Amino acid sequence: MLIAVLFFGCESDDNCTKTIQIPQYTYSNGQSYVYYTEQEVSCDFEEAVDEPAQTGNELENFTYEVLLFEYTQDTGNNSHRLQMEIKLNNSNNYAVTGYPYFSIAIDGMVTSSAYANLASENCLGIAANSSCVFTLDIEEDSTLLGAPSAMELVAVKYYVTE
């Protein structure tokens, strides 16, 4: 589970507190949904983002090419949509089994995920000196919490599991 923390301003006194919003993610019928819980913390609360533990080693001689990365904030159906096609290149003389890991800036805050369970092509293996096109097209309901105003691909890594 990916946990990101959003911060709001607070007063500048010794009993300073601030309210943080913690996104909670659920998946149902191939769609992901997010809702937020709030928590009051001290102003000196450590500004950290928890990322899922990685398994495997990062693939060397790996490159990627963005064929499509499109975020639609308002689809006209009370939803927002993320589409991406990323060409993953294994320049090694051996095949790999693993998974791609994407870092995406959502309204300026970087979060990371494999998205493998939501992809139509997840590239859990890439042949020697070959490529695979990771394909994702997800549409999420915006009626409960709204939609992010912007999404931008920051980086892609590939982790080898075997």
Comparing 42 with 134, the larger pLDDT belongs to: 134
Comparing 136 with 47, the larger pLDDT belongs to: 136
Question: Residue 18: how many CA atoms within 13 Å on its side-chain side?
Answer: 18
pLDDT tens, residue by residue, 16-47: 887 766 555 544 444 445 555 566 767 776 54
**What's phi and psi for 94, nearest 5 deg?**
-145, 150
pLDDT tens, residue by residue, 88-120: 999 999 999 999 999 999 888 888 888 888 999
User: What is the number of other CB atoms lying within 10 angstroms of the CB of residue 115?
Assistant: 19
What is the pLDDT at residue 88? 98
What is the pLDDT at residue 53? 47
Contact 82, 147 (CB under 8 A): no
What is the pLDDT at residue 7? 44
Rounded Cα gap, residues 36 and 122, in angstroms? 28
What is the pLDDT at residue 6? 46
What is the pLDDT at residue 3? 42
